[in-house]
């Protein structure tokens, strides 16, 4: 944006304007392209009533989508071939029309190569299986033939030895047997998946009622199935049957079990010949397949060198035509009319882009740029950088600020990591978090160009948030004086000592002050069990209330400046002031008492003071009195708190009704000097400035707001006690891991146990305290900002500014 951009203002969104651009058709494509390079204009859809197929450039979008499909096809092929796309050093500018032809040629060639490769690969896999069948089934037949020959020799030798007078008769009887009554056996061979082999055998037996003979042999290595192309463990089978009926049943069973069948010659000589022929064909096919893969790899490598450039070009083209479809044709059908939102500071840059587009396209007429006046609420645009963008996203996860509304992200930059640190305070854990964050920041350029996992992506995106969280955690850890739950005398010796040896590990009654007050943070002596309620816990609890009251007051003050900005005097006097009075009459007063008790060292019971302020406001305070005139002050504050409730409820609806009546009678008006002021005033009065004024609706709405604020003041203050609870939980967990794991392992005086104890301590610290506790404290800090802080002033009902920008195309999903 260069020199034309004013300084970045994160507190208020950028002033916006609605612009109209009239573009000659011959320069429309180039104009939208230049505006996409600029990235400062959000187009409005002027053809919302038309379907995508009825728009002017539907054919061009379809063409771009087809080219994108081809590029996705190329990407899938490169992933299958393990060929990542790489940017070529020299990128030749290519015309979209030429690119379309080139992509079509590449796709046709790749499809043909893949088709031939699939056919060759299937034939190759079939021949591999056929060779296995020839080898394994050949072993069956060779073994059976050897056994038959051996048995025949044994029978002949036995027959000669047992010869008698009856032998010729038997031979004659055998010779006279009818040849037509002899049974002829057939057989089938093939491969069946090993996981189905038992079921295959069982079904064959049942279907043929046991009239089959099955032999199987295990194939040692998985083979590639010709049909599925997957590696499968298989068995070679030979099944003998009798009759055509049995054969048909076996064929159907083979088909059902996915068993591939292959022919097998009965002649042993023919078997050896077939094995030789199949081996030769396998070798030839292997050579052919390798040549095809080399050609495919060369083609994909050529595509990969230009893929990123082509992909970006197609996505730009599609995006350009998508936005051109938002433009409307004028009555002469020679110009396109565009409307859109842009920051006011971008006017000069947009006009320069329009002039360049007209010059580069040789257009005889330039585009016309003009600002429109409108009552429509503009989009919200905050200019952020890599540091502030994460905090802005935290706020916008709750809701986008409406136009010119105060941006909570400004305060969140400080308050969010600080409230996190209040719950996470331990300077040992903070250093670990800081080192991890510095690693992410140090490798920022490299990691930003890589695809990270979901969790790592979130951590890297919020690295600057985590950086401040770590720094603030070190700060609060030094205040708590906790290093992995262990106190250190970093800033000098403790101010307290025991009177005698009997007071060690006892209550605070045995301690006396012997030195000046500890200069920074908590005195180490207040850790552990030296008091029935450790001072650190009391400090954290009271500090949680103080922080909550301060942040809620900050929210109300911001709402005051919001009301001043939008010129809403009603909100100032009948919302801001009574809210401040109510909140501080009760909880502001409690905060003052907490500070005074710390300052004076008083033993007053603040619970008793606050409870009896309501139950018995006129009673004497006795030993709970912190200053003179305290009872009178409490009566005044209590009266103000009760008065502030009807003050919030009743006046505002009547004043709004009176203003509405005066406006419609012409007794009040506003002079609109410029577009920005017009937008502000109109957005403020849209709710009640037009149409009928529903007094009952406004009154009920105000009553709901009043009840919500009164109850919310109590519940929100109590909600801030989560700062104390989470901090206590973090401290206690850290103490348990230190005492029950590390110190316990140290006490055994065994090296192995000590090493195991250190490993367990590190794993528990990283897994529980640095990951789970970090996430827990993050979520609670998020809730305190979204609910307790932002509900005082932040409406979050706006919509975000999404300019047409080619720089955002990389993040879009096809």
pLDDT in tens, 254-286: 999 988 888 888 777 787 888 888 889 999 999
Predicted confidence (pLDDT) at residue 196 exceeds the cutoff of 60: yes
pLDDT value at residue 565: 72
Predicted confidence (pLDDT) at residue 205 exceeds the cutoff of 80: yes
113-151+184-287 to CATH, choices 3.20.20.70, 3.30.70.2750, 3.40.50.2300, 3.40.50.300: 3.30.70.2750
What DSSP line would sit under 672-709, residue for residue? --SHHHHHHHHHHHTTTSSS---HHHHHHHHHHHHHHH
Predicted confidence (pLDDT) at residue 561 exceeds the cutoff of 60: yes
Predicted confidence (pLDDT) at residue 141 exceeds the cutoff of 90: no
Give the containing element (helix H, strand E) for 42. Answer: strand 42-43
Predicted confidence (pLDDT) at residue 706 exceeds the cutoff of 60: yes
State percent of the chain over pLDDT 70: 87
pLDDT value at residue 387: 92
Q: What confidence tier does 685 reach under pLDDT thresholds 50, 70, 90?
A: very low
Rounded to the nearest 10 degrees, the angle between the axes of helix 463-480 and helix 409-424 is 50
CA distances from 350 to 23, 30, 32, 354, 383 (A): 13, 13, 11, 6, 17
pLDDT value at residue 266: 73
pLDDT value at residue 675: 40
* Tokens linked to 168: 């010729």
For the residues 180-208, what does the mean pLDDT come to? 83
Report pLDDT digits (tens) over 454-478.
Answer: 888 888 989 999 999 999 999 999 9
Compute the CA torsion angle 206, 209, 215, 220 (nearest 10 deg).
Answer: 0
- Report how many helices (DSSP H) and strands (DSSP E) the chain contains, helices first: 27, 13
The rounded mean pLDDT for the chain is 84
Predicted confidence (pLDDT) at residue 3 exceeds the cutoff of 50: no
Q: Distance between CA atoms of 601 and 606, rounded to whole angstroms?
A: 13
For the residues 685-690, what does the mean pLDDT come to? 44
Return phi, psi of residue 67, to 5°. -65, -40
Predicted confidence (pLDDT) at residue 176 exceeds the cutoff of 60: no
Q: What confidence tier does 633 reach under pLDDT thresholds 50, 70, 90?
A: very high
* Tokens linked to 212: 């089959």
Bridge partners for 193 per DSSP: 234
pLDDT value at residue 139: 79
Q: Distance between CA atoms of 135 and 236, rounded to whole angstroms?
A: 10
pLDDT value at residue 415: 94
Strands, DSSP E only, in 449-606? 496-498, 511-513
Sign of the Cα torsion 788, 792, 798, 803 reads negative
For the residues 102-125, what does the mean pLDDT come to? 92
CA atoms within 13 A on the CB side of 214: 23
Q: Taking Cα atoms as reference points, which of 144, 630, 720, 208 lies closest to residue 422?
A: 720
What DSSP line would sit under 591-630, residue for residue? HHHHHHHHHHT----HHHHHHHHHH-TTS--GGG--STTH
Report pLDDT digits (tens) over 156-174.
Answer: 766 555 544 444 433 444 4
Question: Which residues are CB-contacts of 470 (< 8 A; sequence separation ≥ 6)?
Answer: 430, 431, 433, 434, 437
pLDDT value at residue 267: 73
CB 241 within 8 A of CB 247: yes
pLDDT value at residue 409: 92
Q: Distance between CA atoms of 458 and 460, rounded to whole angstroms?
A: 5
Predicted confidence (pLDDT) at residue 520 exceeds the cutoff of 70: yes
CB 190 within 8 A of CB 254: yes
End-to-end Cα spacing for the chain = 28
Q: Is 500 exposed, middle or buried (0-12, 13-18, 19+ CB in 10 A)?
A: exposed
Highest mean pLDDT among 143-147, 166-170, 648-652: 648-652
Q: Distance between CA atoms of 805 and 316, rounded to whole angstroms?
A: 9
Please calculate the CA angle 221-226-227 and round it to the nearest 5 degrees: 125
For the residues 769-777, what does the mean pLDDT come to? 92
Q: Distance between CA atoms of 5 and 383, rounded to whole angstroms?
A: 10
DSSP 443: T
Predicted confidence (pLDDT) at residue 569 exceeds the cutoff of 90: no
Bridge partners for 289 per DSSP: none
Q: Is 425 exposed, middle or buried (0-12, 13-18, 19+ CB in 10 A)?
A: buried
Predicted confidence (pLDDT) at residue 436 exceeds the cutoff of 90: yes
SS3 readout for 136-179: HHHHHHHHHHHHHHHHHHHHHHHHHHCCCCCHHHHHHHHHCCCH
Predicted confidence (pLDDT) at residue 782 exceeds the cutoff of 80: yes
- Sorted by where each begins, the domain ranges of the chain are 16-96+300-372, 113-151+184-287, 387-599+630-663+696-792
> Of residues 170 and 643, which shows the higher confidence score?
643
Q: What confidence tier does 680 reach under pLDDT thresholds 50, 70, 90?
A: very low
pLDDT value at residue 85: 65
For the residues 543-551, what does the mean pLDDT come to? 93
CB 731 within 8 A of CB 426: yes
Return phi, psi of residue 735, to 5°. -65, -40
Please calculate the CA angle 513-514-517 and round it to the nearest 5 degrees: 65
CB 793 within 8 A of CB 558: yes
> Of residues 341 and 534, which shows the higher confidence score?
341
Q: Distance between CA atoms of 746 and 755, rounded to whole angstroms?
A: 9
């Amino acid at each position: 944006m260069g020199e034309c951009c004013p300084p970045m203002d994160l507190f208020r969104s950028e002033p916006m304007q609605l612009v109209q651009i009239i573009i000659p058709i011959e320069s429309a494509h180039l104009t939208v392209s230049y505006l996409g390079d600029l990235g400062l204009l959000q187009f409005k859809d002027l053809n919302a009533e038309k379907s995508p197929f009825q728009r002017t450039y539907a054919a061009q979008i379809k063409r771009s989508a087809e080219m994108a499909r081809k590029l996705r096809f190329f990407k899938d092929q490169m992933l299958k071939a393990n060929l990542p796309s790489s940017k070529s050093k020299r990128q030749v500018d290519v015309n979209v029309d030429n690119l379309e032809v080139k992509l079509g040629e590449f796709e046709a060639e790749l499809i043909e190569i893949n088709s031939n490769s699939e056919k060759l690969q299937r034939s190759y896999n079939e021949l591999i299986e056929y060779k296995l069948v020839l080898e394994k089934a050949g072993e069956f037949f060779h073994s059976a033939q050897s056994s038959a020959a051996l048995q025949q020799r044994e029978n002949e030798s036995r027959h000669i030895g047992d010869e008698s007078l009856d032998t010729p008769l038997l031979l004659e009887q055998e010779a006279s047997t009818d040849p037509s009554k002899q049974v002829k056996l057939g057989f089938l061979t093939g491969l069946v998946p090993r996981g189905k082999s038992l079921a295959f055998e069982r079904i064959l037996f049942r279907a043929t009622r046991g009239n089959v003979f099955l032999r199987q042999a295990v194939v040692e290595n998985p083979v590639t199935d010709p049909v599925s192309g997957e590696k499968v463990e298989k068995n070679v089978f030979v099944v003998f049957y009798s009759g055509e009926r049995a054969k048909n049943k076996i064929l159907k069973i083979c088909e059902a079990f996915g068993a591939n069948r292959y022919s097998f010659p009965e002649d042993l000589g023919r078997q050896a010949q077939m094995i030789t022929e199949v081996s030769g064909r396998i070798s030839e096919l292997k050579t052919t397949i390798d040549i095809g893969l080399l050609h495919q790899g060369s083609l994909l490598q050529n595509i990969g060198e230009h893929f990123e450039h082509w992909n970006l070009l197609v996505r730009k083209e599609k995006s350009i035509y998508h936005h051109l479809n938002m433009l409307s044709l004028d009555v002469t059908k020679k110009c396109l009319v565009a409307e859109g939102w842009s920051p006011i500071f971008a006017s000069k840059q947009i006009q320069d882009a329009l002039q360049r587009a007209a010059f580069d396209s040789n257009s005889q007429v330039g585009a016309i740029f003009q600002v429109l006046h409108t009552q429509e609420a503009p989009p919200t645009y905050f200019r952020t950088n890599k540091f502030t963008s994460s905090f802005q996203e935290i706020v916008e996860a709750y809701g986008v600020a409406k136009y010119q509304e105060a941006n909570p992200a400004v305060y969140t930059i400080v308050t969010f990591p600080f409230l996190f640190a209040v719950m996470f305070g331990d300077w040992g854990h903070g250093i670990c978090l800081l080192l991890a964050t510095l690693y992410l920041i140090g490798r920022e350029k490299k990691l930003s160009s890589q695809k990270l996992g979901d969790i790592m992506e979130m951590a890297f995106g919020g690295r600057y948030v985590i950086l401040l969280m770590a720094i603030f955690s070190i700060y609060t850890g030094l205040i708590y004086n906790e290093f992995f739950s262990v106190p250190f005398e970093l800033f000098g010796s403790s101010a307290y000592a025991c009177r005698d040896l009997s007071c060690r590990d006892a209550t605070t009654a045995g301690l006396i002050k012997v030195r000046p007050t500890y200069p920074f943070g908590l005195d180490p002596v207040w850790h552990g069990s030296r008091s029935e309620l450790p001072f650190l816990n009391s400090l954290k609890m009271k500090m949680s209330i103080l922080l909550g009251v301060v942040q809620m007051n900050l929210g109300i003050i911001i709402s005051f400046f919001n009301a001043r900005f939008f010129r809403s005097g009603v909100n100032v006097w009948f919302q801001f002031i009574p809210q401040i009075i109510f909140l501080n009459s009760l909880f502001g007063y409690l905060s003052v008492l907490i500070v005074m008790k710390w300052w004076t060292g008083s033993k007053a019971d603040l619970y008793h003071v606050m409870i009896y302020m309501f139950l018995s406001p006129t009673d004497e305070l006795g030993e709970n009195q912190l200053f003179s005139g305290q009872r009178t002050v409490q009566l005044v504050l209590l009266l103000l708190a009760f008065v502030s409730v009807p003050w919030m409820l009743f006046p505002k609806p009547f004043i709004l009704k009176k203003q509405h009546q005066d406006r419609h009678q012409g007794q009040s008006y506003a002079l609109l000097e410029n577009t920005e002021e017009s937008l502000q005033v109109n957005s403020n009065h849209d709710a009640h400035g037009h149409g009928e004024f529903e007094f009952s609706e406004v009154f009920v709405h105000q009553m709901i707001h009043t009840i919500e604020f009164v109850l919310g003041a109590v519940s929100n203050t109590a909600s801030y006690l989560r700062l104390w609870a989470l901090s206590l939980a973090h401290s206690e967990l850290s103490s348990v891991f230190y005492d029950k794991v590390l110190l316990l392992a140290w006490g055994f005086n065994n090296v192995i146990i000590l090493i195991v104890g250190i490993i367990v301590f590190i794993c528990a610290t990283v897994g529980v305290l640095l990951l789970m506790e970090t996430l827990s404290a993050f979520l609670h800090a998020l809730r305190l900002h979204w609910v307790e802080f932002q509900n005082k002033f932040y409406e979050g009902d706006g919509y975000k500014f999404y300019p047409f920008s080619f720089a955002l195309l990389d993040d879009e999903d096809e």
